[in-house]
Amino acid sequence: MHRKRQRLFFYSFNPYLCSRLKNANMKPIHMVDLKQQYLKIKEEVDAAIAGVLDSTAFIGGPQVNDFSKSLANYLGVKHVIPCANGTDALQIAMMALELQPGDEIITPSFTYVATTEVIALLRLKPVFVEVNPQTFCVDLEVIRKAITPKTKAIVPVHLYGHAAEMEEIMAIAKEHNLFVIEDNAQAIGSDYHFKDGTKQKTGSIGTIGCISFFPSKNLGCYGDGGAICTNDDDLAIKLKMIANHGQSKRYYHDIVGCNSRLDALQAAILNIKLPLLDSYIDARIKAADFYDKAFAGNKKITTPFRAEYCKHVFHQYTIILEDGENSENFRDGLVAFLAENNIPSMIYYPVPAHKQKMFAAFGGGDYDLEKTDWLTHRVISLPIHTELDEEQQNYIAKKVLDYVNK
């Protein structure tokens, strides 16, 4: 199985396979085409980078401050604290809430490992729960069943760009006096619609929201970057201190912190890209609509579900392949077939958190999560980004259907 997963990773990420196309007139297909996106804003980006270099204000400074204010305004949240990456955002959030070793944190197992590894790093106890196979987000009923006297927080993950059911999650949290830490790494820009007709951006609803600006994200910088969001004034002060060595003022360290800062070069790039975020999302939705139409009616393909309560921003376009008892081999066969035809794809994620070796000491092996295991054998993500054109998508869809219908 280990060698098999190595082969799948090679098929998915081999740049040689990604760059050679049988149709010489078609642009190379990538999971995310950062080069073409950059070329459209090259003049502005290059000037902004040159401005930072000329100023020599590499840490903090006006670019970081301007981005914090602009992002807070975009999200409709009172405070944005920039940090080094999305993983740090989650860690700093949990540190600021003063969670103690042994406290239980409810989290989906079907997520990127960063969500769960920070729980283990702080010696908290991850309580792994199922997701809804439609939305890929945490299942409400299992949250209720997982709550114990030791439960202190819920970490809903807005996976692939689809929001978790935040209105209900916040109600559960209020009932049981729990914190809610939104993992918004994959869904920045998503609108959540409440039953009373109001709406909020994901990441601004919970106690704290955590964001990643990894280059492939819908709002990505050209390195690592992250941010923490909250509407709580006192919590914002603490979050800012923790991200800067626990300092209340320079060289006065009041609490244990860490070194996690968004540098000015990345902030300068994000200042250019933030006003474009909604147009980037629209391009991804257009690409998703194309795939949906192409795969409509195929009994072996389940296209991404879009709940009425939120705007899916399609950080990933993830389908479920079903071929009875042979589904995992069927899915893995498609990965290989697409690679042979110069189309990258990815499996997010082949091993759920509760089955990772790192969580053995936390009782990961004790969990029986049938829905999660079912999904890990069937999901596959296709290329989706702002630069996909119709010729590329026609080619991708045709090859997927060629394989599925053979």
Q: Which residues pair with 192 in a beta bridge?
A: 200, 310
DSSP 3-state of 263:
strand
CA angle, 376 as apex, 375 and 379 as ends, to 5°?
70
Cβ within 8 Å of residue 218, ≥6 positions away? 161, 186, 188, 189, 277, 280, 281, 284, 313, 315
Q: From its phi and psi, is residue 342 left (phi > 0), alpha (psi between -120 and 50) or beta?
A: left
DSSP 3-state of 103:
coil
Check whether 13 has a pLDDT greater than 70: no
Give tens-digit pLDDT for 210-260: 999 999 999 999 999 999 999 999 999 999 999 999 999 999 999 999 999
Q: Which residues pair with 253 in a beta bridge?
A: 247
Q: What is the pTM of this model?
A: 0.93
Output phi, psi for 118, to 5 deg. -70, -30
Residue with tokens 């990773």: 9
Cβ 236 vs Cβ 207: under 8 Å:
no
Q: What is the CA radius of gyration of the chain?
A: 21
Token representation of residue 197: 């007709």
Check whether 179 has a pLDDT greater than 90: yes
Q: Which residues pair with 154 in a beta bridge?
A: 106, 180
Query: What pLDDT score does 11 carry?
Result: 45
Reported confidence tier of residue 387, pLDDT bands at 50, 70, 90:
very high
Query: What pLDDT score does 24 carry?
Result: 64
Give tens-digit pLDDT for 251-270: 999 999 999 999 999 999 99
Question: Per-residue pLDDT averaged across 36-63, rounded?
Answer: 97
Give tens-digit pLDDT for 142-163: 999 999 999 999 999 999 999 9
Percent of the chain predicted with pLDDT > 90? 92
Q: How far apart are CA 105 and CA 117, in angstroms?
A: 12
Residues in the chain, total: 406
Question: Per-residue pLDDT averaged across 352-356, rounded?
Answer: 96
Give tens-digit pLDDT for 272-286: 999 999 999 999 999
Domains and CATH numbers, the chain: 2-35+276-404 (3.90.1150.10), 42-275 (3.40.640.10)
Check whether 23 has a pLDDT greater than 70: no
**297: exposed, middle or buried (Cβ count in 10 Å: 0-12, 13-18, 19+):** exposed
